[in-house]
Amino acid sequence: MDDTRTKLLEAAGPIFADHGFQATTVRDICQRAGVNLASVNYYFGDKERLYVETVKRAHGLAVDQVPLPDWSDDTPPEVKLRDFVRTLIERMIGVKHASWQMRLMMREILQPSAACRELVESYFRPHLDVLLGILDEMLPASAPEHRRAQLAFSLVGQCLYYRVAGEIVNMLVPEEQRQRWFSPPQLADHIAQVMLAALGRTEPLSTQLQSDCATGVCHTD
Amino acid sequence: MDDTRTKLLEAAGPIFADHGFQATTVRDICQRAGVNLASVNYYFGDKERLYVETVKRAHGLAVDQVPLPDWSDDTPPEVKLRDFVRTLIERMIGVKHASWQMRLMMREILQPSAACRELVESYFRPHLDVLLGILDEMLPASAPEHRRAQLAFSLVGQCLYYRVAGEIVNMLVPEEQRQRWFSPPQLADHIAQVMLAALGRTEPLSTQLQSDCATGVCHTD
DNA sequence: AGGCGTTTAATACACTTGTTTGAAACGGGC
DNA sequence: GCCCGTTTCAAACAAGTGTATTAAACGCCT
């Protein structure tokens, strides 16, 4: 399928992700796609319709690219939580240092547009439900609903941070330290450790870091 | 001081924050400021210079608006950490549901421009140092530097989340639940609890939530 | 008052934007 | 071949953009 329509969609993705809706020009997209200027209006009606289609396609590709593992019924919740974090981090910053799909979705998160409602229901809500299910296995039944949600947001927030503020992290952390200690799996394991320690499923971090700090960090498998 | 220059800066702030650099027009700014179209070129040379000045001014105002408390020397680190989180959250979503200053800075975080380097050195770095100092008081001396940084990012990430993904949270959490349990101080206390529990300075959350969940949540003072 | 540097004002100028147009090219079916 | 709907193309359009220009108004000193 390399018809003009899909060529347009594929060209539009990275450009919209980089510059946002307003700042990208249909001329730019058409040039990148190698098609005539009028094509976007012919196939999508106008620029905005093309944008919405691009966003939909983006999150479709994003979930396919790094899917959640399907756990067996006896997988302990600690492992599920760690896997969940790893998947999130991988989607955020793993795939070739941030795919255009994620960059585009990030724009929608920060400034929701017409394409966003669908994004929430078909992407965020299901993932939140999975995470809430994992947390339920570790929390007492008396834990109120809003605390579960806030815990989920705490976890997601830590992952999202490296996507949103990645450039800032790059400026704050020296190059060599970043290379050695800030790889996606390392960050994922750190976040999982924080959450598990907070939930009381692991020793607190301060005691973990007291003894044997070399091996305590990189149990990456 | 209501000369044209400052009128321009004050008008430009919210508009740049809402629409970004590209999508805002100097005509819009001048109209809102009630000054002539040519003024921006007269006072700032061009649109970009005005933008940079606006960003600088934004973070100047942001720190003044909600300053960090100055703790006495014997303030326990747990209190400092909680205060730090509260300050961050207050800056993120507290002041009249997100001031334009924060919205503008958020744009720079997500997509750094020329004005960003200065933002990092004069705003983010000092705050990070304060936070690292607080964490140092709770961590063993053997804790490696990169883990401290990651812990700091975990904390900041959780706070940033409600600013970045605030609209998504609004769609995911029912209105009434949001009204009751998602006020800035409540969110701040939750995040502080997570971090303190992870560090082992409090009981784990799962046991906290087991007993007496009604009073355990809202120690707002 | 008069002169002068500073500020404001209206307008014009290129230029880019999204979109439209109408004709040309294509691809089968009879 | 010829007709047809579909797709491509180059060009043009109208609106909106940042910026430049020019003259008028202002404030202030002597």
Interface test with A, best of B78, B121, B153, B199 (most A CBs within 10 A): B153
CATH of domain B63-210: 1.10.357
Cβ–Cβ < 8 Å for B27, B52: no
Q: Hunting for tokens 């974090």 — which residue is that? A: A85
| Cα–Cα dist A155/A193, whole Å | 11
Give how far B100 is from chain A: nearest CA, Å: 14
Q: How far is the CA of A119 from the C1' of D29 (A)?
A: 66
Listed by number, the residues of chain B in 96-135 with a beta carbon closer than 8 Å to a beta carbon of chain A are 106, 109-112, 116-117, 120, 124-125, 128
CATH of domain A62-210: 1.10.357
- In CATH, which of 1.20.120.80, 3.90.1150.10, 3.50.50.60, 1.10.10.60 is domain B4-45? 1.10.10.60
Q: Where in chain B is the domain with CATH 1.10.10.60?
A: 4-45
What are the structure tokens assigned to A5, written together?
A: 């329509």
Q: Where in chain B is the domain with CATH 1.10.357?
A: 63-210
What pLDDT, on a 0 to 100 scale, did the predictor assign at position B113?
81
CB distance B194–A142 less than 8 Å?
A: no
**Mean pLDDT confidence for A177-182:** 96
CB distance B195–A198 less than 8 Å?
A: yes
Q: Where in chain A is the domain with CATH 1.10.357?
A: 62-210
Q: What are phi and psi of B106, to 5 degrees?
A: -60, -40
**Mean pLDDT confidence for A17-23:** 93
**Mean pLDDT confidence for A45-58:** 94
pLDDT in tens, A109-160: 888 887 888 889 888 999 999 999 999 999 999 999 999 999 999 999 999 9
Quick check: A215 pLDDT over 60?
no
CB distance A157–B165 less than 8 Å?
A: yes
SS (H, E, C) chain A: CCCHHHHHHHHHHHHHHHHHHHHCCHHHHHHHHCCCCCHHHHHHCCHHHHHHHHHHHHHHHHHHHCCCCCCCCCCCHHHHHHHHHHHHHHHHHHCCCCCHHHHHHHHHHHCCCCCHHHHHHHHHHHHHHHHHHHHHCCCCCCCCHHHHHHHHHHHHHHHHHHHHCHHHHHHHCCHHHHHHHCCHHHHHHHHHHHHHHHHCCCCCHHHHHHCCCCCCCCCCC
pLDDT in tens, B12-51: 999 999 999 999 999 999 999 999 999 999 999 999 999 9
pLDDT in tens, B52-81: 999 989 888 887 888 899 999 999 999 999
**Mean pLDDT confidence for B78-101:** 88
Q: How far is the CA of B25 from the C1' of D17 (A)?
A: 8
pLDDT in tens, A66-111: 889 999 999 999 999 999 999 999 988 887 756 899 889 988 888 8
